[in-house]
Amino acid sequence: MAASNPQNYELYRGTSIGIALADTLDDLISSRRIEPQLAMKIMSNFDAKIAAVLGEKVKARMSFKGHLDTYRFCDEVWTFILKDVKFKMDNAAQTEAERVKIVACQTKEKQEKHDK
């Protein structure tokens, strides 16, 4: 699951922007405009940059309540499955979901403290 840098996770490759980037890189490889090694380097850079930008730029807050169905901890990554979840945003907007999967990874700062 972790990229070549253990502090960067491949979590955002399944998002619409990550899928679009992967599709574009596949097209460029198929048309022999770039080498696969360059595409892998671009995806690795995407992993690092999107996590950094989201951490620095997104300031919205949200709270949620639900029933914990399943949890696991493997390779320094927590995964939680929640059922019947109610979300409340900063602007008081509310929404619900039957099932939610939360994946939590250690941040770069926490990893550096842990390694010392």
CA–CA gap between residue 46 and residue 73 (Å, rounded): 25
* Local confidence pLDDT in tens for the 116 residues of the chain: 344 444 567 888 989 999 999 999 999 999 999 999 999 999 999 998 998 898 899 888 899 999 999 999 998 889 999 999 999 988 778 999 999 999 888 776 655 555 55
CA–CA gap between residue 95 and residue 27 (Å, rounded): 37
Residue 83 identity (one-letter amino acid): K
| Three-state SS at 15 | coil
Residue spans in the chain of domains classed CATH 2.30.18.10: 62-106
Residue spans in the chain of domains classed CATH 1.10.287.190: 11-57
| Three-state SS at 75 | coil
What's domain 62-106's architecture? Roll (2.30)
CATH class of 11-57: mainly alpha
What angle do the packed helices 36-57 and 16-30 form, to 10 degrees?
160
